[in-house]
Amino acid sequence: MVGQWRKEDDEKVVIRCYNDLRDIIQMEWVEKSCEIGNDQTFLFTDTLGDPLCRIRNTPIFTMLVADVGTKLVGCIQGSVKPVKFHDKSVNVGYVLGLRVVPPYRRCGIGSILVRKLEEWFVSHNVDYAYMATEKDNEASLGLFVGTLGYTVFRNPAILVNPVNPGRDLKLPSGIGIRKLKMEEAASWYRTHVAPTTDFFPDDIDQILGNKLSMGTWVAYYNNNDKIDSWAILSVWNSSKVFKLRIGKAPLSYLLLTKVCNLVGRFLMLLGLTALPDLFNTFGFYFLYGVHAEGPLCGNLVRALCDHVNNMAASDDGGAFVPHWKMLSCDDDTWCIKPLKCEEKMSDLGEFDDMFWKSKSGTLFVDPRDV
């Protein structure tokens, strides 16, 4: 696949599939050149030697790379999965990992990579392509929304709660927590979550049975009078896929971390959580499929989160969700684009109707997308 990227250049950008044996060294250079963040703070990602780690657990995936001459100057990843979208079974393609090294930006290479990935999506019967970025990422939104015809779809929040190793949180005595068998969990999700949730995966069994899925737990009140309230969530061990590290953080955060490390023992004695050390590599558990019903379900969600916290604390390797505001963010922006409207719908008005109705419902975040 060849695309002309600048009229004034004789060299052309060549788009091809990623070759692990040929490209892994240059891919490391591309990743280091495109670390996520701004001039003050960067989020470093350690892929543990596998550039495909974020898509390898999906049913169908690919990575495309851009060559200019002998240089690998950009890449993009994509995955395909079947989901429920406004009561319809559709195939969706997730766009992620778009990278173009700084010297070759603003030359059209990013657009070429996305369009080639969309062509690959269409060849795999994808109905909608979607991507995630931050609401203040003007370059990304300008490309996808301004140039490529994507529409802002959702603005989910990312809630982060630190874990103190070796310190267990006390769980309420009146709340019971039980781990479900995989078949039970799949049935529970299909019965209670799928009917009211967009992007619910048709292959939920594959997710729950994945080696990275640590299990599904349900919380309930031991008092039978409150049986109508319950909560459920599942846990995905993202630390086995990749790890993160914060670099070039503000001096105030560095100083605060140092102080918290010094007084961490005293904070634990007081029952408080110390600020975690984010400057060394760290992993995380991703909580997915969080759902609760009943008038007293809030405490059940918190109990489940505390239970997972205790799992993470002993691991050697929404409104009720406990989290730290300073580590969380509410600026995640999802954008979507129909790829086969002419085949699946009578006109674009049907997509608009589906789109606006879906904005008020619940969204299932697939752990394989994280």
Domain ranges of the chain: 2-158+330-369, 175-313
Highest-confidence range of 63-67, 192-196, 286-290, 303-307, by mean pLDDT?
63-67
Q: Which fold has domain 175-313?
A: Aminopeptidase (3.40.630)
State the pLDDT confidence band at 7, using cuts at 50, 70 and 90: very low
**What is the average pLDDT score of the chain?**
82
Does pLDDT of 215 surpass 60?
yes
Question: At CA 194, angle to CA 193 and CA 199, rounded to 5?
Answer: 115
Whether the per-residue pLDDT at 128 is higher than 80: the answer is yes
The residue that leads in pLDDT, 265 or 181, is: 181
The Cα 127–Cα 138 span in angstroms is: 26
159 or 202, which is more confident: 202
pLDDT for position 365: 93
Over residues 186-201, the mean pLDDT reads 95
* Lookup result for tokens 């846990």: 235
Q: pLDDT value at position 227?
A: 66
On the question of a common fold for 2-158+330-369 and 175-313, the answer reads: yes
pLDDT recorded at residue 87: 81
In terms of CATH, what superfamily is 2-158+330-369?
Gcn5-related N-acetyltransferase (GNAT) (3.40.630.30)
The CA distance from 263 to 256, in Å, is 11
The pLDDT, as a whole number, for residue 155 is 86
Q: How confident is the model at residue 151 (pLDDT cuts 50, 70, 90)?
A: very high
SS3 content of the chain, % helix, strand, coil (to 5): 30, 30, 35
111 pLDDT tier (thresholds 50, 70, 90): very high
Query: What pTM did the predictor assign?
Result: 0.84
2-3 and 13-17 strand pairing: antiparallel
Helix H segments across the chain?
20-33, 109-123, 138-141, 182-192, 204-208, 251-262, 264-269, 298-313, 341-344, 348-358
The predicted-structure confidence for 309-343, as pLDDT tens digits, reads as follows 787 766 543 444 444 455 556 668 999 999 975 54
Of 156-165, 196-205, 300-309, the range with the lowest mean pLDDT is 156-165
Which segments of 156-250 does DSSP mark as H helices, in order? 182-192, 204-208
Rg value, the chain, Cα:
22
- The answer to whether 306 and 209 have CB atoms below 8 angstroms apart is no
Q: For residues 4 and 369, which has the higher predicted lDDT (pLDDT)?
A: 369
pLDDT digit string, tens, across residues 273-299: 556 666 677 888 999 999 999 988 989
What single DSSP character describes residue 145?
Answer: I
Higher pLDDT, 6 or 275: 275
pLDDT at 323 (0 to 100): 44
Mean pLDDT throughout 141-145?
96
Q: Work out the average pLDDT over 165-192.
A: 89
Determine phi and psi for 263, rounding to 5 degrees.
-105, 10
Q: What is the pLDDT of residues 217-260, one digit of tens each?
A: 999 998 766 568 999 999 999 989 988 877 666 666 666 666 66
Cβ contacts of residue 336 below 8 Å, gap of 6+?
128, 129, 130, 150, 151, 153, 355
- Confidence category of residue 42, pLDDT binned at 50, 70, 90: low
